[in-house]
Structure 1
């Protein structure tokens, strides 16, 4: 992957009026128009995430001819609508970047949100989310984000609402093995068995794993590898499956455990060569924009992580 550069950070204003219980501070026109020195990603930096749509699954082949599944995620005019800065009760600061995606008709948007989008200079959107960032990772309001925000070879977390599966038993919901299907069990092979105790405690403990509604909740699939990005179509190919139905909105961010926290850990220990995954030298900072995508190839693919051909017998 080529060495990546990005625009500078932008300062934030003091705390202002809340929007939907969140204090949103838009950058001033001065800060947005000024061109600061190009900022650099550091191991202590936390970048914003993106909102994409899950388009479905397909397969790819690596350089050795090994077939593996991928999920295709597509960005739909993903833009920054606000920079958030909130002072907590303990005087610490919460910083976040508010991102919106998927244009919609203005007649289907409330007047309050229309005013919010007009101040940001973007078209009305279907979904708005905010991603916690470090103070140096704010993105100018109105910036259009691109698929090159994520570099092939890095790891990401994908957050979405999982597919609802209705009322399910304990074997499907909690992976219980069930009862014996041979002797001594009468037509109850898939039942949960005993759920309580005797006189003491005489009740079922809260949180007991039992049959009930399954799916339909917020799920985070962690540490998925980005294998290809297509800046022309704004496609991100991640290895493996992600939660949600096709065409559902998903949130993508840098992997919290194996990217962000691992980078900070190795940086503190002085392991500079292990800060980023092998083959990566930098990340777009504070974000991968459409302007950055024009300076890079339209399709970027990560090399295979295999060190030997699995189809060649070992000597």
Structure 2
């Protein structure tokens, strides 16, 4: 359920420093001259996510000439519309950043949402989502987020609605092996087999894997690597495939397992060199904005994770 209200005051807009080791040498002096009082990312921080459109898949080549598939995700005027702070019954606090994307006409927007967007100072949007954050990761309302919010080399989770495949059998839906295609099997090669037990209990147990509708569900693809960002076209290239059809709205966030939880775990153990993936210095905090993108190269590509050339025979 969308929470269309906001509590508290707006935080002061911070300036972010360079955040990737491959870009520090190319960054302008404006980034390096940021004040020391700027809030920075910590291993316990949880940043907001972004809303993007899945544009399709293509291929890229790494430094060694190895070909790998990538999915192109594009931001469409992704802006912050609210900062949420709610006190639960146990007196714990819930913090979130509400993000909206993809402009829509005024005539197709309800009056309630028009008032909400007008209060935030942003044009009407097609999709509104909220991302849980830590108290130090609130973003000023009206801020336009950029593709540089995610750093090439980091891991992300992509959330979307999977392709609907209609009514499917057990082999496609649940990866059943099927029966033998040789002696002793009649026309039951792809049958599900027995679904019940004896007269006791005399019924089919709830949750039994049977034929049914496949797909059309919210899916989270975890730990995808960001290999390239283009701040001019607002493109994010992630390695591998993501759920959803082309032009579908997807949500991107920092990977919970390989970024957020692992950073907190390694920081508590004192292994600060393992807090972020190899090659990363820090993350844009509290978010990667249009202003930050102007101070960085328009295209940033992550170096290959391979140490040696895979085409050279081993000695």
Same fold (TM over 0.5): yes
Contact residue 52 and residue 101 of structure 1 kept, 8 A? yes
CA distance in 1, matches of 2:261, 2:298: 30
1:268 is the counterpart of 2:268: yes
Report the equivalent of 1:77.
Answer: 77
Give the deviation of 1:28 after TM superposition: 3.8
CA distance in 2, matches of 1:46, 1:301: 24
Report the equivalent of 1:204.
Answer: 204
Report the equivalent of 2:25.
Answer: none
Report the equivalent of 2:47.
Answer: 47
Give the deviation of 1:197 after TM superposition: 0.5
Report the equivalent of 1:304.
Answer: 304
Contact residue 23 and residue 86 of structure 1 kept, 8 A? no
Contact residue 27 and residue 141 of structure 1 kept, 8 A? no
Give the deviation of 1:168 after TM superposition: 0.3
CA distance in 2, matches of 1:23, 1:259: 29
Residues 224-267 of structure 1: per-residue CA shift (max 9 Å, x gap) = 00000000000000000000000000000000001000000001
Report the equivalent of 2:291.
Answer: 291
Give the deviation of 1:24 after TM superposition: 2.5
Q: 1:224 to 1:34 in 2, by over 3 A?
A: closer
Q: What's the secondary structure of 1:25's corresponding residue?
A: coil
CA distance in 1, matches of 2:2, 2:223: 31
Report the equivalent of 1:13.
Answer: none
- 1:173-184 matches, cutoff 5 A: 173-184=173-184
* Runs of 4 or more consecutive aligned structure 1 residues displaced over 4 Å after TM superposition: 31-36
Contact residue 228 and residue 236 of structure 2 kept, 8 A? yes
Q: What's the secondary structure of 2:97's corresponding residue?
A: strand
CA distance in 2, matches of 1:32, 1:285: 12
Contact residue 26 and residue 141 of structure 1 kept, 8 A? no
CA distance in 2, matches of 1:196, 1:269: 50
Report the equivalent of 2:187.
Answer: 187
Superposed CA RMSD in Å reads 1.5
CA distance in 2, matches of 1:42, 1:179: 54
Report the equivalent of 1:213.
Answer: 213
CA distance in 2, matches of 1:312, 1:215: 42
TM-score by length of 1: 0.91
CA distance in 1, matches of 2:4, 2:87: 9
Q: 1:102 to 1:21 in 2, by over 3 A?
A: closer
Q: Tell me, which stretches of 5 or more residues in structure 2 are unaligned?
A: 16-34
The alignment of Structure 1 onto Structure 2 pairs a total of residues equal to 295
TM-score by length of 2: 0.91
Q: What's the secondary structure of 2:219's corresponding residue?
A: strand
Give the deviation of 1:55 after TM superposition: 0.1
Contact residue 152 and residue 301 of structure 1 kept, 8 A? yes
